[in-house]
Amino acid sequence: QVLAGVYPISQLQEPYSAVGFLAARLPLPTLLQLRPPTSAAGWTAWDICEAWAEKRGYKTAKAARNDVYRAANSILRLAADGRLRLCLRPPGYAAQKGEPRPLPLP
């Protein structure tokens, strides 16, 4: 709903799962040109948000830590604005791709 523009991004309490949904379908670290995480486990949604916050310079006001919440909202806004293209094909599309489609009846 968030990526379709139905639910406002600003009202999300926990945007990291939506970023994880994007990361499962898009190569976000490559697209955003992020540095690899320090952990050997690979990229998580939190790692992507933290790396994006570091790259963009998003810091919290008091402790000057990376503002991962703001970074997650920024990534979701990129996707909602169409700067990160997400294309979901219907189930079975690849299997039927080579078959001719029937013409619609008048």
DSSP 65-95: -B-HHHHHHHHHHHHHHTSS----PPTTHHH
The domain spans of the chain are 2-81
Question: For position 39, what pLDDT does the model report?
Answer: 72
Q: What does the pLDDT look like over 56-88, one tens digit per residue?
A: 999 999 999 999 999 999 999 999 888 888 877
Q: What does the pLDDT look like over 1-56, one tens digit per residue?
A: 788 778 888 888 899 999 999 999 999 999 999 988 877 778 999 999 999 999 99
Q: What is the pTM of this model?
A: 0.81
